[in-house]
Structure 1
Amino acid sequence: MKSLLFSLLFLAVSPIIYAQNTFSGNINNAETGEPVFSANIYFPELGKGDMTDIDGNFSIQNIPNGKFKVVVSSVGFATYSNELDFPETSSLNITLEKSAIEMEEVIVSTPFHQLQSENVMRVERENVEELNRKGAITLSDGITQIAGVESLTTGVGIGKPVIRGLSSNRVLVYTQGVRLENQQYGDEHGLGISSKGIESVEVIKGPASLLYGSDAIGGVLYLNPERYAAENETNAEADVNYFSNTQGYQGSLMAKTSGEKLKFLARGSYAAHSDYETGDGERVTNTRFNETDFKAGIGYQDAKFKTDLRYNFNKSNIGIPEEIGVQSTDKAPLLPYQEIDNHILSLENKIYFNKSSLDFKIGYQYNDRKEFEEHHHEEHGEEEHEHEGEEEHAEEEHEEEGVDHPALEMHLETLNYNLKYILPRTGRFETILGVQGMHQTNTNYGEEILIPDATTTDFGVFATTHVHFDKWDFQGGLRYDIRNIDSEAVEPHEDEHSEEEYADEGEHAHESGEIAAVDRSYKSINGAIGAKYIITDRLSARLNLATGFRAPNLSELTSNGAHHGTNRYEIGDQTLENEQNFQVDLSLEWRNKHFEAFVNGFHNSISDYIYLQPTGELIEVNPVFEYTQNNAELYGGEIGLHIHPHPLDWLHLESSFETVTGKRNNGEYLPLIPANSLTNTFRVEFEDVDEKIYSKYAFIRLKNVFDQNNVSAFETRTGGYGLLGAGFGGQFAINSTEMIIGVSGNNILNKDYISHLSRLKPDGISNIGRNISVSVRWLL
């Protein structure tokens, strides 16, 4: 009987096992008929591709049976996409039309692997290389160049994404295909990801709970890791960057190789920065930081199966600034500072059946967050302070106390899983069924407790479908989620420091009160529906309606202590309910070969919005703030255009305007809402393959930020300012290698200004002044 079952199983799967196809063809220029060299032919659902040779030929092996989208792209040509059916298809000979529009890429963060022009939901996508080209110091700094995206900062080393006015736990970050969990609820907890080894950034601006569950109420920042080398190729890369303002440097080494089925890559990088200098010439003490990052991947793929194992280790030492004091260019953080170790291990498996596929991702993360603070012992009395230099004393404290005795130490372990079944296509319909979940534990080891030991468990099930017509595309779905939070009680204890010492304490030094145990469950049903309509060949419209939810985090539920970095005593509320929102997005896009324009508008209504409200009381000289809830709304949008006039295809004029307003139901404005801004860029790009420097560019950019007078009751307004930036660079060959050199400058006029999203704003501390960055990159 057992033998018979195995025989039947073998007969059932043998068509799958041996279903493999070879796909080849030729790509030519539609105007001249000449072959297109280095065109990229890519199957996004399979993760397979090839590049054309000098004759325009390509060949891809091990294509499974089924219908798959192919995307053909090349610089200077319009991107081609089509759906091919295997084994009926074996070759493709096409011509590409010349176009000055930047070639389109496949959107990975949405479920159906479409080009942006084909997507029902508008998603912003930027290559990290392009963001770095414009002088970004960190990844969180780079994403602010995307319309509708800003960063909530503490200096230049700590930044977290803000999408249309929402941040922290209201914006999900995905890396390596799994959600990033690194205590992101904290204002002073940064993104914690190096830009090295990240290929591109995608931004979903709006609720994405249908795809990602809780915490995606404000949007998703999706980080795509760099791809493996092309089949039967080996590549290596070395690059260095220098930043004048922080006297910072960053270096990275990468190697990757791929055979017919097996692939491997590894990248290591290190960065170190001194305190940044404001436009007035003062260095902001203890904004220094350093970062060590290692990424590796190994993949295997044949006609029926694909697996991708990725690992990322990131170690950061980040100073926590409190005031302008010591003027130094040292790079070792002073007290107080954070030491963060983050490990991310992810595994993605895809199984291709005859007309359907199964995608299973699992991720494990270990986040070890330590914070070190100054401790005053008898041997360091006032007399000693008077006779020792401020920096010398801080370094002595660092040596004696910093490494061995963290005041705060939290270990966060997270296991994620995501199972999706892509059903066989029926007519015009594509459908995906999925199950997602998370198991997370937080454990305290330090002398201070910011949030209690706790276990969080998520489970969600969803279905989404897409239907395509000649002029209409529709997409919709439903999802059910449940989250359980179970925390341990915390007994009250007295802080060992006196009131006079509180002024010198770090971010989380506090006198903890009693925290009761939490055992809560949060449930939610959410849905989304959207439509894209091609009004004319050049004009299209998108309308999306979606709901989302966010369960309150541990800090909002359990806080009971003074946070001296923010100079307030915070009290949580264990009766807080889900935040639930409904957002309407409308987008219009007009484009031809030499002109593009878009208008995006949104309205986001949030029920039971959670925020901090001052009570008017004082505890240990700190004002008391309580977490509470009220309904809120945010509205605004983005407008942009891109002109590249014929016949000057090398000339690009870009302009974008973004605005967002946030209010509670009582008419008061929400805090930390970005100011309106207008960005204008003039750039030139030349792709002359016959020249020694065959890829050249230059740009000049002016970003005008307007006054922010719409402020909450307990925050200050900020004035407007203009920031001028410029840069140039090129690529050329040296024997068998290629070198790319770039120079860029930000805030060239050294403007002294304060961003409305700076956490140093209440202390009157300005943002970074002029910064000139130089990058050199070798491709081997």
Structure 2
Amino acid sequence: MIQKIFLCVFFCSATFISSAQQCTYNFKGIVTDYHDGTPIFGASIFIKSLNKYATSDARGHFEISDLCPGKIEVRISHISCETKEVFITLDNSFFQEFYLEHHTEELKEVRIVATSKLKTKTLQSSVLKKELIDAYSNSSLGDILKNIAGVSAINTGNTIVKPMINGLHSSRIILMTNGVRLQDQEWGIEHAPNIDINTAEKISVIKGANALEYGGDAIGGVIVVSPDRVLVKDTLYGKSILTGQTNGSGFSFHTALSKATKAGWYVNAKTTFKKYGDFESPAYVLSNTGLNSQAFSLRSGLKKFETGFNVYYTYVKNNIGILKSSHIGNVEDLVHAINSNEPLIVAPFSYDIDAPKQEVTHQLVKIDFYKRYRNTGKLVLQYDFQNNQRYEYDIRVGADKEKPSIDLNLNSHTLKTSFEFDSKSNQTYKVGLKAAYQDNFANPNTGVRRLIPDYYAYDLGLFTIGNFVLNDKTNLDLGLRYDFNYINAKKFYFKSRWNERNYDIDFNHLIIGDFKTQWLVNPTFKYHNFSASAGISHQLNEKNSVLFNYALSSRAPNPSELFSDGLHHSAARIELGDLRMQQELSHRISSSYYFENEKTSVLIDLFYNLIHNFMYIEPEGTEQTIRGAFPVWGYKKTNASLFGVDINWQQQLTNKIDFNNKTSFIRGRDLVNDRHLIDIPAANTVNSIRYQNKKWHHFNATLESNFVFAQNLFPNNNFDVFIPTTNNTVLVDVSSTPNSYHLLKFNTDTSFKLSENSEITVGFTITNILNSKYRDYLNRLRYFADDLGRNYVLQLKFKY
């Protein structure tokens, strides 16, 4: 018995001694910042299987002792850092350096919203977030952007909506979607952006030309459509939105599904369908104003801290009806339309979309790759390709009835790279290079004189940006950019037009062919554009902030401003470009003041924009064709100034009720001719009061009042025309603006949990509650019909 006890004690002791002898390894290391190599204090180092941990000291060092040989899983974490997990095999004492991205939160792009402080950026900018984007799922980009003070839209009816920032639009605004500059014939005033807003998690608007990373020609500003964030964890989730409305008797359906893994792999697919029939004014049907739209996007890639890539594809197709009565046969029809209180054509409601109409298809493919370099920064490489196919249909008869009057195909290739030096927390630098090529083909088989010619274009851009934290209250941003633009076109001009425009004096060297009544010419232009920006923001105290900014930007003429020559059928007017157009040069000075306390926030944006060689289009008379006389709109240039103020005021009245006011005021002046500019938005003010109660299933209810003043400051572009049927000469009033108008809107929504991971949100909206008759100055169809009447909208949103 004693022998057995002795043997048991001996073996246990031997085992204990053996174990004690083996578990003598030390695990030492240092935790440093990935960007600048500085030590991280207070990082937690945790060994899961052994439940042992250590904390890094002021030098970033740590040590865990008495470890046994074998494989261990180590988790390194720190506040505001991305947690890192590694597996280590111990067969001896071990030392390793670990890198964490200590200032991840500081490097994230922050936009100014009405509830954020100006000290975060030196730009005048605003953000629309996912909740509002979902509510506008059935609408266009131009519609949702009207929620930002200073942003309006120039319309062709209610389905073609182009955003306008502080009075500027089209080629003066850059639209970025998922890191790609949209190229979709944006020069056309009746060319709406081909983008599905449902692909966005947030939409940012930067006023002015200060975002030089995106381009130096954004005299009006930049719109950045950002995709959903990628979640680096094992997850599968989705969302579906069904919206129905009475005006147009149509619906919109959007669905999205996302899958991500802890390893960083992800895939996201989205699709949207919209179908609407003829919309209605308060008194009559707006015939041939329906819309059919389909959109699909697919995004996939690998997201890791140090390296990753993204692949993105999107397809958008829009079939857009244009008000039938806006199709005029000649200027006499225009006179009748202006003098009539109702459209000349009012047909029963229909889902059919006939000529005049637009059919536009846009496809985009993007591939990008990024890699971070320790103690240095981040490299990004990107290539994208876009194809834009645009058909515009006029009312035609005979064999040409189904043939488009305009058939344009634009292919765009872009290659760009950037490197951000972010190793220092108080200063970052970014440099980038872009090379782009475009090829535009105008199909000559339409049977109609081509409005825009064949051309190809090269663009080369180089920029550098510096961001500096001067102290805990002051930030400074500086930027420089150079762009080279080259365009090469081939175009036929009637000899009579060539001489009428005095091109025979200035451009006879461009003629490469003689075709009886026409010249074939080969215009080529080169433009060197320099841009710069400087901005400073300062936190006066906890409640008050200010910023000041200056931006110099330069924009080359677009193809329409240079080459337009002929009848633009969807616009029912003759448009004439000018080969003498030169670059626009903009000097924009802006400042902002922000106040915030517990219940009040006020943001005031001021700006003054002086633009040399400002290009614009305006009526200049009529011209006789085989179909009759048509209005002639010509591109011109001048020196112009724009100044204005945007105000956003939020006031919490109680813990459940708040008030919001957005007011915009702008003035535009032609300095050469000492007159007002055309197409400048009227002053407007939007007031809303909201009630919210989270205990009532997150119930929200908002009543909104939108008052638009009459635009009484406009140039006089009226002209006289002879009407053969009456043997009279009459004044064609294309200048006078509509009266002021007031619209009321009501919105409410509430959410219900269906399960732990799913919920449904029910929303109900009424627009133009009083069914008011009105016409908007910036709607090109205001000559022919009233704007939209009352509309009831019901929306169901499922998250799962």
Equivalent residue for 1:657, pick from 645, 654, 663: 663
Higher mean Cα deviation, 583-592 or 231-240?
A: 231-240
Partner of 1:333: 353
Equivalence for 2:596: 591
* Contact 1:361–1:417 (Cα < 8 Å) also in 2: yes
Of 145-154 and 712-721, deviating more is 712-721
State the 1:269 CA deviation: 1.4
Q: Which residue of 2 aligns with 1:28?
A: none
- In 2, the alpha carbon distance for the partners of 1:288 and 1:724 equals 24
Per the TM alignment, residue 455 of structure 1 is displaced from its structure 2 partner at its CA by 0.8
Distance 1:365 1:163 in 2: 25
Q: Give, in whole Å, the separation in 2 of the partners of 1:214 and 1:583.
A: 13
| 1:575 maps to amino acid | R
Could you tell me which residue of structure 2 aligns to residue 432 of structure 1? 430
Where structure 1 has 5 or more consecutive residues not aligned to the other structure, the ranges are 1-14, 26-55, 72-81, 84-104, 379-399, 495-511
* 8 Å Cα contact 1:313/1:343 also seen in 2: yes
Inter-partner Cα distance in structure 1 for 2:319 and 2:224: 24
Question: Is the Cα contact below 8 Å between 1:179 and 1:416 reproduced in 2?
Answer: no
- Rounded to whole Å, the distance in 1 between the matches of 2:121 and 2:211 is 18
Aligned to 1:760: 781
Output the CA distance in 2 between the equivalents of 1:209 and 1:580. 16
Q: 1:128 to 1:435 in 2, by over 3 A?
A: same
Q: Is the 8 A contact 2:458 2:486 kept in 1?
A: yes
User: Are 2:381 and 1:360 equivalent residues in the alignment?
Assistant: yes
Q: Is 1:263 matched with 2:266?
A: yes
In structure 1, distance between residues paired with 2:254 and 2:295 = 9
Cross-structure match for 1:441? 439
Q: Quick one: which amino acid aligns to residue 217 of structure 1?
A: I
The question of whether the paired residues in 1 share the 8 Å contact of 2:123 and 2:210 is answered with no
Contact 2:388-2:410 within 8 A present in 1 as well: yes
Q: Secondary structure at the match of 2:562?
A: helix
Answer yes or no: is the 8 Å Cα contact 1:209–1:547 preserved in 2: no
Q: Does 1:642 align with 2:658?
A: no
Judged with a 3 Å threshold, the aligned counterparts in structure 2 of structure 1 residues 559 and 619 are, in CA distance, closer, same or farther, namely farther
Checking the alignment, whether the CA contact within 8 Å between 1:709 and 1:718 is kept in structure 2 is no
2:163 — aligned with what?
Answer: 161
| Cα distance in 1 between the residues matched to 2:763 and 2:80 | 32
3-state SS in 2 of match to 1:482: strand
Of residues 203-212 and 125-134 in structure 1, the stretch that sits farther from structure 2 once superposed is 125-134
SS of the equivalent of 2:423 reads coil
Match of 2:699 in 1: 696
Deviation at 1:513, TM superposition (A): 6.9
Alignment of 1:284-363 (within 5 A): 284-323=286-325, 324=343, 325-355=345-375, 356-363=377-384
- How far apart, in 2, do the equivalents of 1:131 and 1:748 lie? 22
Q: TM-score, normalised by structure 1?
A: 0.79
Q: Is the 8 A contact 1:279 1:753 kept in 2?
A: no
Question: Which segments of 5 or more consecutive residues in structure 2 lack a partner in the other structure?
Answer: 1-33, 45-78, 87-97, 326-342, 497-516, 718-734
CA contact (8 A) 1:131 1:145 kept: no
Query: Per-residue deviation at 1:109?
Result: 11
Residues 1:686 and 2:693 aligned together: yes
Deviations 1:540-565 (A, max 9, x none): 00000001111111111111112244
Spell out the pairing of 1:502-581 with structure 2 (5 A cutoff): 516-581=521-586
Contact 2:606/2:645, CA 8 A, preserved across alignment: yes
- Cα deviation code 1:450-491 (max 9, x no counterpart): 211111111111111011112211001111111001111336
CA change 1:694–1:255 in 2 (3 A) is same
Moved more, 429-438 or 567-576: 567-576
Identity %: 24
Displacement after TM superposition at 1:275 (Å)? 1.6
Give the AA of the match of 2:691.
V
Q: Any conservation in 2 of the 1:62–1:303 contact (CA below 8 Å)?
A: no
| TM-fit CA distance, 1:438 | 1.7
User: Secondary structure of 1:196's partner?
Assistant: helix
Give the AA of the match of 1:127. K
Do the aligned partners of 1:128 and 1:199 also contact (CA within 8 Å) in 2?
yes
Residue 393 of structure 1: aligned partner: none
**Cα distance, 1:194 vs. partner?**
1.6
Q: Offset at 1:492? A: 5.1
Secondary structure class of the residue paired with 1:555: helix
Query: 1:247 is matched with which residue?
Result: 249
The answer (yes or no) to whether the contact 1:106–1:116 under 8 Å persists in 2 is no
| Alignment of 1:748 onto 2:769 | yes
CA distance in 1 between partners of 2:694 and 2:171 (Å): 43
Measured on the aligned residues, the alpha-carbon RMSD in Å equals 3.0
SS of residue in 1 equivalent to 2:285:
coil
Task: Determine the C-alpha separation between the residues in 1 that align with 2:490 and 2:772.
Answer: 49
Alpha-carbon distance between aligned partners in 2 of 1:276 and 1:595, rounded to the nearest angstrom: 40
Instruction: Kindly name which structure, 1 or 2, has the bigger radius of gyration based on alpha carbons.
Output: 2
Does residue 185 (structure 1) correspond to residue 187 (structure 2)? The answer is yes
Following TM superposition, by how much is the alpha carbon of 1:735 offset from its aligned partner in structure 2, in angstroms?
3.0
* Match runs of 1:21-32 below 5 Å: none
Q: Give the C-alpha shift of residue 761 in structure 1.
A: 1.5
Q: 1:57 to 1:488 in 2, by over 3 A?
A: closer
Distance 1:583 1:58, change over 3 A: closer
Question: Displacement, 1:626?
Answer: 2.7
Amino acid corresponding to residue 527 of structure 1 in structure 2: A
Q: Which moved more, 1:116-125 or 1:243-252?
A: 116-125
Deviation at 1:428, TM superposition (A): 2.6
What does the per-residue CA deviation read over 1:568-605, in whole Å, with 9 as the maximum and x for residues that have no partner?
A: 32221112100110000010000022210111110000
Q: Which moved more, 1:568-577 or 1:239-248?
A: 568-577
Q: Distance in 2 between matches of 1:760 and 1:773?
A: 24
- Give 1:728's aligned residue: 748
Helix, strand or coil: the match of 2:308? strand
- The whole-number CA distance in structure 2 between the counterparts of 1:600 and 1:487 is 41
Residues 339-363 of structure 1: per-residue CA shift (max 9 Å, x gap)? 1111011223211110211122222
Among candidates 216, 223, 226, match of residue 224 of structure 1:
226
Q: Secondary structure at the residue paired with 1:125?
A: strand
Contact persistence 1:109–1:202 (CA under 8 A): no
- CA deviation map 1:142-187 (0-9, x unaligned): 1111111111111221111000100111111111111101111112
Shifted more, 57-66 versus 578-587: the winner is 57-66
Q: Check if 1:779 corresponds to 2:779.
A: no
Q: Distance in 2 between matches of 1:552 and 1:370?
A: 23
For 1:590 and 1:126, the matched residues in 2 are separated by 20
